[in-house]
Amino acid sequence: MPEPLKLMYNAQFFEQLCPVLTEVIPGFKERAFIHRVFDNRWPDLELKQRTTSITVALRQFMPSEFPCAAEKIVEVSRILRLKEKVQSYPFIFLPEYIELYGQADFDVAMDAIEEVTKLVSAEFAIRPFILAYPRQTMKQMILWSKHPDASVRRLASEGCRPRLPWASRLHDFKNDPAPILPILENLKNDPSEYVRRSVANNLNDIAKDHPDLVLKTVAKWKGKNPDTQWIIKHGCRTLLKNGNETALQLHGFETTSNSRITDFAADKNITVGSYLNFNFTFSSDEKKKAFFRLEYAIHYVTATGKVALKVFKIGEYWVEPTKLLAIKRRQSFVDLTTRKHFKGKHRLAIIVNGTEKASCNFQVK
């Protein structure tokens, strides 16, 4: 099992950080800072709590006025960016500092976020500003969507995602995503894959609440640029998984799903920590070569005994009428930090172009 992410804040990390803080902050006391961070609560803190603990400890050594402190935060981030082999995510406490202590100084905070996000994404830090200053912040983010730095452009999209994971929901944007659309328009042909992936994820967020708006948007974008085509496909992934007929048609899939699953077989009994093996043969009943999206769904038993559905993509295939496509897969039931498995009766389903074509039950012991 991978090591918990919270352990990234180790002695090696602070050996890298503290010389930079000493260089930038007059009178910085490394030992006192370390003692504030590693207090008696530290062993019980999870990742987010540890990040905030560093942020709060750092404030004790910073100028009390936020504009002065922001200058130091920006200088620290610039020095760290110049260092080789720097992993950016552990420095998430730098944008968090701006989030916690800069909300009364909007212009200064925006300038600082613009610089710090080049080291570590400020997608979480920007959201309280969207809530407190929605018009001003979105105006700034439209400007960022045209910024020469890809990290800043990505922030323009990622920061306003309505359903950004591990972040507070932007309920106003869930209800009305119109303020987001000009940003996505500016970024739909972005040369950076890093930025394009964020645009696609933002579209996918919006599609969960406003599928027709996303379908209208991507229909307008379709065929204009190869990079935009990838955004369209990835941004419609939830609609495709849900078998949305318009989305399927937009991407060239046969919505009638004239096909068949034969020789379907799967393990009947497995244990937590092992794998579910299954296989089947797919064939098309169309009279011409047709495009099919194959997926499988696991109906997982949860800790409370309820069922949680998770859909996994197998692939997309052009299939001739006489062709037999043999599919063999296995699904891990090894526990991860992000997913635990529980005993009980589960269900496996094979999905073709959004339509369930075969299924079976299996037991996890």
Render pLDDT for 240-278 as a digit per residue (tens, 0 to 9): 988 899 999 999 897 776 899 999 999 999 999 999 999
In this structure, is the dihedral angle defined by the CA atoms of residues 4, 163, 157 and 311, taken in order, positive or negative? positive
Query: Average per-residue pLDDT in the chain?
Result: 94
Report field, pTM of the whole predicted structure over 0.85 = yes
Cα–Cα distance, 348 to 68 (Å, whole number): 58
Residues 6+ apart with CB under 8 A from 98: 70, 73, 109, 112, 113, 116, 122, 125
In this structure, is the dihedral angle defined by the CA atoms of residues 141, 147, 152 and 155, taken in order, positive or negative? positive
Low-confidence residues of the chain: pLDDT under 70 = 1-2, 84-87, 257
260 pairs with which residues across the strands? 283
Q: What's the confidence (pLDDT) of residue 169?
A: 86
**What is the SS3 assignment for 290?**
strand
- Express each pLDDT in 326-352 by its tens digit: 999 999 999 987 789 999 999 999 999
| Nearest alpha-carbon partner for 294 in 249, 260, 247 | 260
Q: What's the confidence (pLDDT) of residue 2?
A: 65
Q: What's the confidence (pLDDT) of residue 298?
A: 97
Q: Are 273 and 359 in contact (CB under 8 A)?
A: no
Q: What's the confidence (pLDDT) of residue 87?
A: 62
Half-sphere exposure of 239 (CA within 13 A, CB side): 31
- Express each pLDDT in 305-320 by its tens digit: 999 999 999 999 999 9
Cα–Cα distance, 98 to 91 (Å, whole number): 13
295 pairs with which residues across the strands? 313, 351
Cα–Cα distance, 96 to 99 (Å, whole number): 5
